[in-house]
Amino acid sequence: DFGVKFNTADGAPAREHLTEAVYEASLRLDRVRMAATAAVEVVSATDDYVALLAECFDMERVAAALASRVVVVDAMHGAAGPAARRLFEGRATLVRCDPLPDFGGCHPDPNLKWASDLAAAAGLDAAGRRVAE
């Protein structure tokens, strides 16, 4: 699905059957055609994103909260990986924080079906219930 996220007319995230259909169709693409030649400027939004998060959250309190917990941040090879590194390096275990065009062959939807390894690392079963230790 090329990392494009979209909401339905009611403002809710697209239902899984639709995102799954888009993802499956994307696996069959072997080329992309563009109707016109256009200049493309690639920019990094990491600085702006990290600054925005710092405005929204008290990062010192977040850091203090993380210090007493085991935290795993899985960016699933998505675009937020570099920001996750900047925000959580040394404070959490970072997994798959290198953005890859194909999400490293993983499904980019972070739910229990597609992120079962992350759920297991958090001590949860496939239904999201805490696994007894």
pTM, whole model, 2 decimals?
A: 0.59
Return the CA Rg of the chain. Answer: 18
pLDDT tens-digit series, residues 31-76: 878 777 778 777 778 998 899 998 999 989 988 988 888 888 888 8
Name the average pLDDT for the chain. 83
Phi, psi of 125 (to 5 degrees): -90, -175
How many Cα neighbours within 13 Å face the side chain of 16?
8
